[in-house]
């Protein structure tokens, strides 16, 4: 599903109204009616229920006037409040104010009206927030800030219309008072800021209301951000023919591990096996091979030349190239260490590899954008850095990486001609052409050692089963996050570990297949 900024949504609205001739009043009506239908789904029959609808002076308030009218038509008791003066309401919002009846609206302008507002809210079953929409930036000041604060402390669940008032829909930043919604009904398409922090904390349950925006309007604006839905993830699952054999589902080679980091190699290898790979080979330092053979029953281990510190040596290049000669995918980097010889091996392998490849962790640390872009083998490649590794790769400070995630991920994908997975809350997947997918699954329990190694194994397995780098990365991130959600439901976010995520992969794939 497409993901928009406030600017791109405004451009889509203009396309609908100015170019395609869809009346703004029709879009506003669809927004209000669609929101009330969602309320019926969540709350049951609305007749005899009590609601407070709080409106601003712009189009978001216009949506609120439609909602109030529809609630009244369904037999609900509705108190409607306007933050400001009715005389200042104009355009389509003015038309819907007139349709509702200005006499039904109380202007919030003095202590008496605010007292009435507070009393009405506390007696309501729910409060509807239609104060500010997607165009809001900055800090809610004066009366609007007070009203938002009162909605948050009234003790009633709040439904936000389009965006929680006070939230920047593009950045996900709330600079002052911001509605903490139980539900958010957003119009047409989800907004980028909903999947960034702290924005995600304000949404509650998100529902996208179909307001009748034609695909042509979205295409004309050229929206290149997406959020992967369950149905879209299901559509990416590799086929599993009934007459398959282990060679059908790919041979995956993983080069990983060093002293102290055998877990990284084991997690990546077993996650590949748990993600449908037919055969998984692990190349690891020779001195650790016996340990890995004990840990890994379903993975074929290959001892590689090592340094004195028992990291994989640059001397292992020919063996690695021989190992991947008839392989379908390669993953390199988890737990390899920053031993200069191991880093030299990564550089040499990346230079030569022609099969699809995932580069993670110490693999990323060994490279530069120029080296990746100039690789001779030109194999399709996925880079999976976390913000610290992206900082080392690009030279940008980590704080800048976090502040400019979208821009920097796109810049690196284009510069290196790779698919980039910038990990974090709401991981970003960007293809070389700049198309971006935001992953909606996952939780704070994934912020633990080894979690990234699990993701590497999942992506490598999907590459081995024939998915493109972007599809493998997008589906891999979705599966990984969903497995984290499954593990958290059983163990809790505090107590779950990377091994729990790996063990939950089969259930995650089952859930996604069920959405197909």
DSSP per residue over 397-437, as a string? -HHHHHHTHHHHHHHHHHHHTSEEEE-STT-EEE-TT--EE
CB atoms within 10 A of CB 153: 10
Angle, CA 255 vertex, CA 435 and CA 284 arms, to 5°: 160
> Residue 287 half-sphere exposure, CB side, CA atoms within 13 Å?
12
pLDDT of residue 82 exceeding 90:
yes
List the strands of the sheet with 419-422, edge to edge: 225-227, 436-438, 428-430, 419-422, 381-384, 357-360, 329-332, 251-255, 279-285, 300-304
Report which of 310, 254, 260, 309 is spatially closest to residue 285, judged by C-alpha positions: 310
pLDDT of 246:
87
Query: Are β-strands 381-384 and 419-422 bridged in parallel, bridged antiparallel, or unpaired?
Result: parallel
**What does residue 427 show for φ and ψ, rounded to 5 degrees?**
-55, 145
Contacts of 66 (CB under 8 A, 6+ apart): 28, 29, 31, 32, 33, 96, 100
pLDDT of 112:
80
Helix (H) or strand (E) holding 371: helix 369-373
DSSP structure class, residue 210: -
Q: If you search the block for the tokens 């194999």, which residue do you land on?
A: 379
Can you tell me the distance from the alpha carbon of 409 to that of 78, in angstroms, rounded to the nearest whole number?
Answer: 47
Helix and strand counts by DSSP (H, E) for the chain: 20, 17
pLDDT in tens, 374-389: 999 999 999 999 999 9
Read off the pLDDT band of 516 (50, 70, 90). Answer: low
Judged by DSSP in three states, 359 sits in strand
Tokens of 305: 């030349």
Read off the pLDDT band of 14 (50, 70, 90). Answer: very high
Angle, CA 56 vertex, CA 51 and CA 62 arms, to 5°: 80
pLDDT in tens, 39-57: 999 999 999 999 999 999 9
Judged by DSSP in three states, 252 sits in strand
Determine contact, residues 161/185, Cβ cutoff 8 Å.
Answer: yes
Can you tell me the distance from the alpha carbon of 255 to that of 350, in angstroms, rounded to the nearest whole number?
Answer: 12
Cis peptide before 198 (omega within 30 of 0): yes
Tokens of 383: 């880079």
pLDDT of residue 514 exceeding 70:
yes
Judged by DSSP in three states, 175 sits in coil
**Mean pLDDT of all residues in 246-251:** 92
**What does residue 256 show for φ and ψ, rounded to 5 degrees?**
-160, 165
pLDDT in tens, 424-452: 999 999 999 999 999 999 999 999 999 99
DSSP structure class, residue 16: I
pLDDT of 502:
98
Q: Whole-structure pTM over 0.85, yes or no?
A: yes
Judged by DSSP in three states, 187 sits in strand
**What does residue 501 show for φ and ψ, rounded to 5 degrees?**
-65, -45
Rounded to whole angstroms, what are the CA distances from 480 to 228, 350, 443, 451, 488? Answer: 13, 25, 11, 9, 12
**Mean pLDDT of all residues in 16-42:** 97
Determine contact, residues 512/480, Cβ cutoff 8 Å.
Answer: no
Read off the pLDDT band of 515 (50, 70, 90). Answer: confident
CA-CA-CA-CA torsion sign (138, 141, 143, 148): positive
**Mean pLDDT of all residues in 154-174:** 97
pLDDT of 394:
97
Rounded to whole angstroms, what are the CA distances from 21 to 33, 120, 216, 218, 281? Answer: 21, 40, 12, 15, 59
Q: If you search the block for the tokens 């800048």, which residue do you land on?
A: 400
Can you tell me the distance from the alpha carbon of 447 to that of 348, in angstroms, rounded to the nearest whole number?
Answer: 31
**Mean pLDDT of all residues in 400-404:** 93
For 36-40, 160-164, 237-241, which range has the lowest pLDDT when averaged over its residues?
237-241
Can you tell me the distance from the alpha carbon of 159 to that of 64, in angstroms, rounded to the nearest whole number?
Answer: 11
pLDDT of residue 465 exceeding 90:
yes
Q: Name the average pLDDT for the chain.
A: 96
pLDDT in tens, 306-332: 999 999 999 999 999 999 999 999 999
Q: Where are the beta strands (DSSP E) in 286-418?
A: 300-304, 329-332, 357-360, 381-384
Tokens of 236: 């990416």
pLDDT of 222:
94
Tell me the residue length of the chain.
516
What CATH number matches the domain at 6-223, 3.40.50.620, 3.40.50.10260, 3.30.499.10, 3.90.25.10? 3.40.50.10260
Can you tell me the distance from the alpha carbon of 211 to that of 66, in angstroms, rounded to the nearest whole number?
Answer: 13
CATH 3.40.1190.20 fits 232-514, yes or no: yes
Q: If you search the block for the tokens 């406030």, which residue do you land on?
A: 6
Domain boundaries, the chain: 6-223, 232-514
Judged by DSSP in three states, 160 sits in strand
pLDDT of 468:
98
């Amino acid at each position: 599903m497409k993901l928009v900024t406030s600017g791109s949504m405004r451009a889509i609205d203009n396309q609908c109204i100015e170019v395609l001739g869809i009346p703004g009043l029709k879009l506003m009506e669809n927004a209000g009616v669609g929101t009330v239908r969602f309320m019926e789904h969540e709350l049951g029959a609305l007749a005899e229920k009590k609601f407070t609808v709080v409106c601003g002076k712009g189009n978001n308030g216009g949506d609120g006037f439609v909602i109030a009218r529809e609630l009244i038509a369904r037999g609900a008791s509705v108190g409607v409040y306007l933050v400001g003066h009715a005389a200042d309401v104009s355009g389509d919002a003015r038309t819907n104010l007139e349709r509702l009846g200005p006499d039904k609206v109380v202007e919030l302008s003095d202590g008496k009206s605010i007292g009435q507002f507070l009393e009405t809210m506390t007696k309501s079953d729910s409060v509807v927030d239609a104060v500010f929409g997607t165009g809001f930036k900055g800090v809610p000041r004066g009366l609007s800030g007070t009203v938002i604060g009162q909605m948050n402390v009234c003790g009633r669940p709040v439904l936000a219309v389009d965006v929680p008032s006070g939230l920047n829909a593009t950045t996900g930043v709330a600079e002052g008072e911001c509605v903490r919604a139980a539900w958010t009904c957003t119009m047409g398409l989800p907004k980028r800021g909903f999947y960034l922090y702290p924005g995600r904390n304000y949404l509650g349950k998100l529902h996208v209301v179909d307001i009748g925006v034609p695909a042509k309007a979205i295409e004309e604006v050229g929206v290149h951000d997406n959020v992967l839905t369950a149905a879209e993830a299901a559509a990416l699952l590799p086929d599993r023919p009934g007459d398959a054999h282990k060679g059908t589902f790919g041979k995956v080679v993983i080069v990983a591990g060093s002293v102290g980091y055998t877990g990284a190699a084991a997690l990546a290898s077993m996650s590949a096996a748990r993600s449908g790979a037919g055969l998984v080979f692990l190349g690891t330092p020779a001195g650790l091979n016996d340990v890995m053979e004990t840990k890994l029953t379903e993975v074929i281990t290959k001892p590689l030349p090592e340094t004195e510190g028992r990291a994989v040596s640059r001397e292992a290049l020919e063996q690695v190239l021989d190992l991947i000669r008839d392989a379908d995918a390669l993953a390199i980097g988890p737990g390899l260490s920053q031993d200069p010889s191991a880093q030299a091996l990564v550089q040499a392998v990346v230079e030569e590899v022609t099969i699809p490849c995932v580069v993670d962790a110490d693999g990323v640390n060994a490279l530069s954008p120029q080296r990746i872009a100039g690789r001779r083998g030109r194999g399709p490649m996925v880079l999976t850095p976390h913000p610290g590794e992206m900082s080392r790769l690009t030279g940008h400070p980590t704080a800048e990486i976090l502040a400019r995630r979208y821009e920097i991920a796109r810049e690196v994908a284009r510069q290196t001609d790779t698919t980039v997975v910038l990990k974090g809350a709401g991981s970003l997947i960007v293809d070389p052409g700049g198309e971006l997918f935001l992953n909606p699954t996952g939780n704070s329990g994934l912020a633990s050692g080894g979690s990234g190694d699990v993701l590497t194994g999942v992506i490598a397995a999907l590459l081995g089963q024939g998915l493109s780098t972007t599809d493998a990365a997008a589906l891999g991130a979705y599966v990984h996050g969903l497995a984290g959600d499954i593990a958290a439901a059983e163990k809790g976010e505090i107590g779950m570990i990377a091994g729990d995520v790996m063990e939950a992969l089969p259930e995650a794939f089952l859930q996604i297949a069920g959405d197909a």
